[in-house]
Amino acid sequence: MNALTAIQPQLSLGDWLADLAVDALIDEADLSPKPGLVDRRGSGAHTDLHLGLMHASALALWPSFKAMAEAAQQRGEIDLHLREAVGRIGREGEGEMLRVTGGVNTHRGAIWALGLLSSAAALDVSELAPAQVALRAARLALLNDRAAPVTGDSHGAQVCRLYGVHGAREEAQLGFPSVIQQALPQLARSRAAGAGEQNARLDALLAIMTQLADTCVLYRAGVAGLTRMQSGARAVLAAGGCASLDGRRCLRELERDMLHLRASPGGAADLLAATLFLDRLQHGLPAQLGSL
Ligand SMILES: CC(C)(COP(=O)(O)OP(=O)(O)OC[C@H]1O[C@@H](n2cnc3c(N)ncnc32)[C@H](O)[C@@H]1O)[C@@H](O)C(=O)NCCC(=O)NCCS
Ligand SMILES: Nc1ncnc2c1ncn2[C@@H]1O[C@H](COP(=O)(O)OP(=O)(O)OP(=O)(O)O)[C@@H](O)[C@H]1O
């Protein structure tokens, strides 16, 4: 111990994972220019959201992410007991989010994805590779939380029924394929090509948008909105991504059309936050936690 470590408060695994989850949400919100979404420039296609509200909501969720990680650390295995504990904490987190935002849904999908991933990470800190953490999260998501309210009238449930698509629940139960197969590989490719960190993150968001059945977009803009989102995201990446002039031109066209359609890819944004969380996690525990 030296003078610095003697005065440093002890960092727990739950603290660290909650820090990563909140950082991922703040980085996602700040990333600009995102088509249709809240970012540093404005509120995108939303009238009830703004950047300050996204930040306040993210910070308010820190205790929930910590509690979900601690529940997993204490339980030590994936079972119904843990699933129901995480579900209860997630619903309390949603209540806190709605209290802080005055009833606006800022992060419902993100609580679901990052809550499961925080728990999954805490279950085994010796296996923090993205695919392994996502697989543990999927096994947790597949268990049926008996206390979960029936959400048949949520926006997501309505469009899943109407269009026969998979939503946030299935994305988690499948092990976050959009994150593992699309976003993380694109993030690595764009970084390796020298795109710069912000452009690489935008490219990762677009990679998710190329194929996601985003229920936020479907609810607000129907199949026309979803088709435009997917084809527009493909066009940006095919033109060279956000670091290229042609890619930026395609991104501006996509944004113009999405604003016109009131389409906002909120599900893709949540999955970008999940991507940033898993990307940070794979570098391993900080030195202060090394002895866990
Ligand atoms: C599963 C959830 C997301 C509800 O989903 P549902 O589709 O019914 O609701 P809703 O339309 O309100 O929210 C969906 C949210 O997911 C995001 N989303 C939309 N489409 C997708 C998609 N294809 N993939 C991933 N996320 C998506 C959006 O941002 C949206 O905010 C979740 O809120 C839930 O069940 N919570 C219960 C509490 C719980 O069990 N928590 C435990 C884990 S933290
Ligand atoms: N930067 C962001 N900008 C906008 N939405 C985001 C952002 N990041 C994440 N989201 C997600 O998008 C969702 C908000 O979408 P939306 O406003 O369509 O939901 P809603 O309140 O259910 O529907 P509506 O506003 O159409 O009544 C949030 O749940 C949140 O998880």
Residue 236 lies in a domain: yes
**Residues with a CB atom less than 6 Å from ligand 1:** 86-87, 90-91, 108-109, 111-112, 115-116, 145, 148, 151, 154-157, 167-169, 171, 212-216, 266-267, 270-271
> What is the radius of gyration, based on Cα positions, of the chain?
19
Bridge partner residues of 39 (DSSP) = 42
ipTM of the complex: 0.91
CA 103 from centre of chain: 20
Prediction pTM value: 0.95
- Residue of 25, 216, 220, 255 with the most ligand 2 atoms within 8 Å of its CB, for mutation: 216
CATH of the domain at 82: 1.10.4200.10
Residue nearest to atom 6 of ligand 2 (CA): 266
Residue-wise pLDDT tens digits, 223-276: 999 999 999 999 999 999 999 999 999 999 999 999 999 999 999 999 999 999
Residue 156 lies in a domain: no
Domain count within the chain: 1
Provide the pLDDT for residue 151: 73
* CA 290 to ligand 1 centroid distance, Å: 33
Q: Is the pLDDT of residue 143 over 70?
A: yes
Residue 30 lies in a domain: yes
Tokens describing residue 186: 């694109």
Any idea what DSSP says for residue 147? T
* CA 236 to ligand 2 centroid distance, Å: 23
Residue 155 lies in a domain: no
pLDDT (average), residues 110-137: 98
Any idea what DSSP says for residue 109? H
Atom of ligand 2 nearest to the CA of 39: 1
Residue 143 lies in a domain: yes
Provide the pLDDT for residue 58: 98
Residue 240 lies in a domain: yes
Residue 265 lies in a domain: yes
Give residue for tokens 């220019």: 33
Residue 43 lies in a domain: yes
* CA 201 to ligand 1 centroid distance, Å: 22
Whole domain around residue 20: which residue ranges? 13-148+161-286
